[in-house]
Amino acid sequence: MSPALIAMLPFIGALLPGLLIRSGRSVAATACGTTTFVALLGLLLHVPAIMRGEVITARFEWLPLIQLNANFRIDGLSLLFGILILGIGLLIITYARFYLSRHDSIGKFYTYLMLFQGAMVGIVLSDNILLLLVFWELTSLSSFLLIGYWRHLPAGRQGARMALTVTGMGGLAMIAGMLILGQIAGSYDISDILNAKEAIQASPHYTTALILILIGAFTKSAQFPFHFWLPHAMAAPTPVSAYLHSATMVKAGLFLMARLWPVLSGTAEWFWIVSIIGLITMTLGALIAVFKDDLKALLAFSTVSHLGLITMLLGFGTKDAAIAAVFHIINHATFKAALFMTAGIIDHETGTRSIARLGGLRKLMPVTFLIGTVAALSMAGIPPLNGFLSKEMMLYEASHLEMARQVFMVVATIAALFSVCYSLRFIVQVFLGNERDDYPYHPHDPGFGMWAGPALLVVLVVLIGLFPNTMAGWLVDASASAVTGEVAHAHISLWHGVNAALIMSLIAIAGGAFLLGLHRPLLAAWDAAPRPEAKAIFDWFVLRCVFVGRAITAGLTNGSMPRALAFFTLTVLGAAGVAWLTGEAGPVTRPMLPVEPVPFVGWLMAIVATGCMVFFHRIRVLALVLVGIVGLITSIFFAYFSAPDLALTQISVEVVTVILLLLALNFLPKRTATETSSVHRGWDAFIATLAGLGFGALTYAMLRRDFAFPSISSYMLENSYKLGGGDNVVNVILVDFRGYDTFGEITVLGIAALAIFALTQTLLQGRSAKRLTNWVHDQRRAGDRHPLMLVIATRVILPISLVVGIYIFLRGHNQPGGGFIAGLVVAIALLMQYMASGYAWAQDRQGLPYHALIGAGVVAAGVTGIGAWFNGRPFLTSAYGYFKLPFLEEFELATAMGFDLGVFLCVVGAVMLALNSLSRIARKTGETVNKKPMDIDLSDEQPKEAN
């Protein structure tokens, strides 16, 4: 199975719960489980090839110009994490089916879970760091949804926001580091980066890239000082906690460090930063876990500690330490997922996670007791379980460091001691002791569906401990080889003789048991001791950021658009001025063209009209007329400069916008009130003049100079006919070369029309509707509602306009015209029918809803673009051919006509839907009985006095 398909399967699975949830919770769970199982099976099919040292790849060009390619790879490291993500994910899907109550929206839960699973699989299979960043940020978003799944809990919302804030900020730093790394290596493909160790470590930007990347890894894997977000994420449902904090999200940072280990490790910077942060995190997390009362909080801080352990091992930079880190990743995932699910079972069956309210569950919940005890003993590092093996390997590596050996030995032993203490506490204070009579619920073991998953994991804990090389040695070898870039052979056994690691382990076990005996007085001292609270610091930091942000925002803008535009304009002018003064524009190379009288007069008229518009802008109708004059003069300039397409478009747009705005002004005050003082208006005039002169000067400077790089226009002119099959270069650009831009523009046009319709719908309801019904025009209206000459003229014009529109549409590929202009021409013809005969008359004679026209236009354009895929061409690439029919000359047909048809339909639909919205307002205002008739009637029924 292709790595790309494996990465996509969870996203496909995310679509299924919403479709199948009405068939039952079990059906939705089965669908997600089946998708996960198929992806896991596809991954396992590559095991023989991976064991032979092969790397399975799938490469697809996505955005090759920026080297963002959809490249995927499966090597030993990807195999390890993929098995953990999909394997434990399969158990979590089953566990969640029985854990969540019937009041929980399980379809939404499974959708979020599968999205998160897909993001994690995408991270570990990515062979391009830019693609990895896309999946990386998707994990932050999907985990936010999972952690905050119980939205009714304030702790859940707080935990989700905290996780998103911390990991999101770290992700931004990592993006910068990855970009630097890709620039150093000369490629963003991970395969190329892994072969550029010398260039990367010799670069002066190595340290900067390293620190930025590690910030992203540390925040995601909850390393000090970013460790505080992980325990607060415990407000999520237990299946989320078990999945995110054992096999997936918090392992993403470890994966990143392991993936880039061949090129980033081996330097002093890597050793001191990574190993020391890992050591601090391991010790601090274990210490805090000793004193936590909430079961999930205890496990969360223990997760922080074990993540620090793995980080420290990766920081050592040695091959054996990397093998130990990989092995502990496997072991931690097995016993920690089992422990989280055990904690969920206890909470589900007893009604509490507070250790102070538990105890004596050994006989009441024997199956849960057995599962939880074995998993906790493995977490403590007690032989012969798998946790003991990797803990011994960690202590052995810490005792053999050349640098700061004694410090690492002592601190690692202390951290292991704390680990034994909180693990034994989990067993003793939850399961042992006397039974209580004050449990919130009567405790009992759950059904098979809830304990089957953790039981399977505990079986793996035992088997890996007893037969490490058989059960996990092959996977450790493959993944460690991928991490180190060398062939690795792990020699894992229960007994290595009496050595420093064994002595340190015995000290940790004895010390942990002793510490548990002193837990009560130590807890009292811990509670009484002053210490910083990470959540309080985080909340204070967020509040300060909000305060500073609001202060800056209030200083820049107070909600006034003129003020915001003034700051924006001044910023642009300042940046442009700096660029002009510090850059080199080059000498003037183009001579001035002679200024002819007619164009000069046209330019002067445009200046005068613009000035009058500014001066008389408070008289809205006059301002609109002046805007139309400026637009018409602009269209003349287009025609003068041999741009007939632009001229036709400009004229059509001016006619449509002037008519629609005139209708809109019918419901607005005729004058704009004065809202600013003369001083403010003078300041605004100064900024506007400065901006106009600046952009005018920039245009003049560009027109008088040649550029070193060739203009793209030459390419368009040379290839318009050869590649697009059209002589009209403008049209070919719109429907082929830049067709994706046009597709986006018509989509936005349709959305804007629908937004106008929706706003009108809101306006015609409630208090606004009453105001419209009682509104009386402030000016006298003409008595002739439907002038006969206008009615006759529009009847005659309609078929002519339709023929002209069709003609312009058909000729657009080779002559001035096209779908946009044709759509405007037809829209004007239809608009005039409404104007002349009223809304009711015209509405009764049209059979197509305007919403459908917009939708049909977008669909037509999209289907035309998709058709290119069947020819192996990029989206929206047009094809053309010449055909000969009897009695006709040879003619051309191009697929661009289908795209142009979509443009045509969108334009007609958008214009007419806007008119429809205005007409509905007019009809509403015409419902008052004693109103004088309007000069432009768009109402459904005509008042009696007008008939």
Cβ atoms 813, 879 nearer than 8 A: no
Torsions phi, psi of 222, nearest 5? 55, 45
pLDDT band at 679 (very low <50, low <70, confident <90, very high): confident
3-state SS record for 835-879? HHHCHHHHHCCCCCCHHHHHHHHHHHHHHHHHHHHHHCCCCCCCC
CA distances from 619 to 584, 627, 662, 673, 752 (A): 45, 12, 13, 10, 27
Dihedral sign (CA 855, 857, 862, 863): positive
Most confident of 309-318, 679-688, 774-783: 309-318
Helices (H), 223-290: 229-232, 238-244, 249-259, 261-264, 268-270, 276-290
Q: Does residue 281 contact residue 304 with C-beta atoms inside 8 Å?
A: yes
Q: Say whether pLDDT at 326 is over 90.
A: yes
Within-domain flag for 724: no
Indicate whether 908 and 806 sit together in one domain: yes
Claim to verify: residue 480 and residue 401 sit in the same structural domain: yes
**pLDDT at 941 (0 to 100):** 40
- Residue 302's pLDDT band, with cuts at 50, 70 and 90, is very high
Which of 675, 709, 744 is where one domain is finished?
Answer: 675
Q: 360 is written with which tokens? A: 């004596």
Q: Which of 868, 847, 848, 846 is nearest to 856 (CA)?
A: 848
Per-residue exposure over 637-650, b if at least 16 CB sit within 10 Å of its own CB, e if not: bbeeeebbbbbbbb
In angstroms, rounded to a whole number, what is the distance separating the alpha carbons of residues 432 and 429? 6
Q: How far, in Å, CA of 640 to CA of 635, rounded?
A: 9
> How far, in Å, CA of 634 to CA of 603, rounded?
9
Q: How far apart are CA 510 and CA 381, in angstroms?
A: 12
Residue bearing tokens 């109708």: 621
- How far is residue 679 from each of residues 273, 573, 684, measured CA to CA in Å? 58, 21, 9
Q: Check residue 887 and give left, alpha or beta (phi > 0: left; psi -120 to 50: alpha).
A: left
Residues 640 and 503 in one domain: no
Neighbouring C-beta atoms of residue 34, cutoff 10 Å = 15
Query: 373 phi and psi, to 5 degrees?
Result: -70, -45
- Kindly write down the DSSP assignment for every residue of 282-319, as one continuous string: HHHHHHHHHT--BHHHHHHHHHHHHHHHHHHHHHH--H
Taking residue 122's Cβ as centre, other Cβ atoms within 10 Å add up to 24
With a pLDDT cut of 90, the percent of the chain lying above it is: 30
Region 294-308 average pLDDT? 91
User: Phi/psi of residue 625, each to 5°?
Assistant: -60, -40
Q: Is residue 502 domain-shared with residue 609, that is, in the same domain? A: no
C-alpha closest to that of 432 among 473, 373, 491: 373
Q: Give the rounded distance of the alpha carbon of 393 from its chain centre.
A: 40
Give residue 43's pLDDT: 93
| Rounded CA separation 138/209 (Å) | 22
Same domain (yes/no): 740, 642: no
Q: Which of 537-551, 771-785, 872-886 has the lowest mean pLDDT?
A: 771-785
Q: What is the mean pLDDT of the chain?
A: 85
Least-confidence region, from 486-490, 578-582, 930-934: 930-934
Asked if residue 881 belongs to a domain, the reply is yes
- In a shared domain, residues 651 and 760: no
Domain membership flag for residue 44: no
| pLDDT band at 780; cut points 50, 70, 90 | low
Has residue 500 been placed in a domain? yes
376 contacts 423 by C-beta, under 8 angstroms:
yes
Q: How many alpha carbons lie under 13 Å from residue 499 in its C-beta half-sphere? A: 14
C-alpha pair distances (Å), 427 with each of 285, 342, 422, 848: 19, 11, 9, 72
Reply yes or no on whether the pLDDT at 669 is more than 80: no
For tokens 């606004």, the residue is 768
Question: How far is it, in rounded angstroms, from Cα 294 to Cα 353?
Answer: 5
Residue 211 DSSP symbol: H
What secondary structure does DSSP assign to 534-590, as a single string?
HHHHHHHHHHHHHHHHHHHHHHH-SS-HHHHHHHHHHHHHHHHHHHHHHS------S
Query: Does 148 have pLDDT greater than 50?
Result: yes
16 found inside a domain: no
* pLDDT of amino acid 618: 85
Domain match, 795 and 905 both:
yes
pLDDT at residue 942, as a whole number? 41
Beta bridge partners of 699: none
> Is residue 741 domain-shared with residue 648, that is, in the same domain?
no
On whether the CB atoms of residues 364 and 439 are closer than 8 A, the answer is no
> What local confidence, expressed as pLDDT, does residue 668 receive?
77
Provide the sign of the torsion angle of the four alpha carbons 222, 226, 228, 232, taken in this order: negative
Tokens of 566: 């003034």
pLDDT on residue 777: 62
Other C-beta atoms lying within 10 Å of the C-beta of residue 211: 13
Mean pLDDT of the region 172-182: 93
What is the tens place of the pLDDT at every residue in 608-628? Answer: 998 888 888 888 888 888 888
Task: Return d(Cα 55, Cα 78) in angstroms, integer.
Answer: 10
Quick: pLDDT tens for 355-396. 888 888 888 999 999 999 999 999 998 989 998 998 888 888
The span from the CA of 223 to the CA of 309, in Å, is 10
Q: Any bridge partners for residue 128, and if so which?
A: 189
Domain span at residue 660 reads 594-675
* Measured distance CA(153)–CA(233) in Å, rounded: 12
In a domain, 441, yes or no: yes
In whole angstroms, what is the distance from residue 75 CA to residue 485 CA?
11
Does residue 820 sit in the same domain as residue 902?
Answer: yes
Spatial distance between the Cα atoms of 729 and 723, rounded to a whole number of angstroms? 11
* 508 and 365 both lie in a single domain: yes
pLDDT at 938: 40
Average pLDDT score over residue span 22-50: 91
- Domain annotation covers residue 98: no
Give the per-residue pLDDT at 939: 40
Token reading at 442: 């009567």
Residue 782 has pLDDT above 70, yes or no: no
Query: Looking at the structure, do residues 848 and 925 belong to the same domain, yes or no?
Result: yes
Query: Nearest Cα to 940, choosing from 807, 844, 800, 876?
Result: 844
Q: What is the mean pLDDT of residues 821-832?
A: 88
Type of residue at 816: P
Q: Is residue 213 scored above 90 in pLDDT?
A: yes
Q: How far apart are the first and last CA of the chain?
A: 75
pLDDT tens-digit map of 737-777 = 888 888 888 899 888 888 888 887 777 777 777 776 666 66
Model confidence at 695: pLDDT above 60? yes
Which is it for strands 880-883 and 891-894: parallel, antiparallel or unpaired? antiparallel
Q: Are 463 and 378 members of one domain?
A: yes
pLDDT surpasses 50 at 940? no
* Residue listed under structure tokens 């499966």: 74
- 528-572 residue pLDDT tens: 888 777 778 888 888 898 899 888 887 777 777 778 888 889 999
Residues sharing a CB contact under 8 Å with residue 56, sequence separation 6 or more, in sequence order: 3, 46, 49, 50, 73, 74, 75
Q: Label residue 931 by pLDDT band (50, 70, 90).
A: very low
Highest mean pLDDT among 84-93, 397-406, 834-843 belongs to 84-93
Q: Are the C-beta atoms of 493 and 468 separated by less than 8 Å? A: yes
The CB-based long-range contact list for 751-758 (8 Å cut-off, 24+ gap) reads 752/910, 753/850, 753/854, 753/909, 753/910, 753/911, 753/913, 753/914, 754/851, 754/854, 754/913, 756/913, 756/914, 756/917, 757/851, 757/913, 757/916, 757/917
**145, containing H or E segment:** helix 129-147
Q: Which of 432, 337, 334, 416 is nearest to 381 (CA)?
A: 416
Q: Residue type for 4, please?
A: A
Question: Quick one: CA torsion of 29, 30, 34, 37, rounded to 10 degrees?
Answer: 60
- The backbone torsions φ and ψ at residue 881, rounded to the nearest 5 degrees and listed phi first, read -160, 165
- Beta 880-883 vs 68-74: how paired, if at all? unpaired
Q: Is the bond preceding 599 in cis, omega lying within 30 degrees of 0?
A: no
CB 143 within 8 A of CB 235: no
pLDDT at residue number 947: 35
**Contact status, residue 451 vs residue 367, Cβ threshold 8 Å:** yes
For the chain, how many structural domains are there in total?
Answer: 3
How confident is the model over 120-133, as a mean pLDDT?
92
In-domain check, residue 129: no
Collect all residues with Cβ–Cβ distance below 8 Å to 172 and sequence separation of at least 6.
none
Q: What is the pTM of this model?
A: 0.72
